[in-house]
Amino acid sequence: MRDAVERALQARRQSGKAGIAAAILRDGVVIGRGENEVRLQSDPTKHAEMVALTEAGHFVGSTDLSGCVIISTLQPCEMCLSAMRFAGIRRVIFAATQAHVAGKYFVFPGLSIDDFIAAGEPFTAIGGTMEDDVLPLYRDGDE
């Protein structure tokens, strides 16, 4: 998590935009990293988690990332949670929680992470880890 937080803060310092960073770990080893590339790529699907999922899939040569953990500086949005589940990831750890950030980061505000947990195969979501370190990046959504 500390690495992801540092990358998010660095992205903010360098570009003036909100930095969002994610990583995929398998057996404690990082196999994929990503930072938000939405504006850079003109692609609304290039969230940090999606970029990390792609890199991890290429690393293992498969879309099956069962046994992996995703770490993000921001609670994954609905799209990223769905992609995580399609990849077989059943554990997510994140810093800033939906309740404490600008609404623009979630397109279905009535759909919570608890709804994702209840809707399918069980998975674990641990939020608020190092939240105070990143809240200034996402609280207002002013990037």
98-129: b or e for each residue (b if 16 or more CB lie within 10 Å)? bebbeeebbeeeeeebeebeeeeeebebebeb
- Number of CB atoms found within 10 A of residue 61's CB: 7
Which residues are CB-contacts of 141 (< 8 A; sequence separation ≥ 6)? Answer: 18, 101, 102, 103, 104, 105
**Amino acid letter, 40:** L
Active site residue 49: yes
Is 120 in contact with 85 (CB distance < 8 Å)? Answer: yes
Helix axes 2-15, 131-138, angle to 10 degrees: 30
Cα 56 to Cα 23: distance, rounded to the nearest angstrom = 9
Catalytic, out of 37, 49, 121, 131: 49
> Which residues have a catalytic role annotated?
49
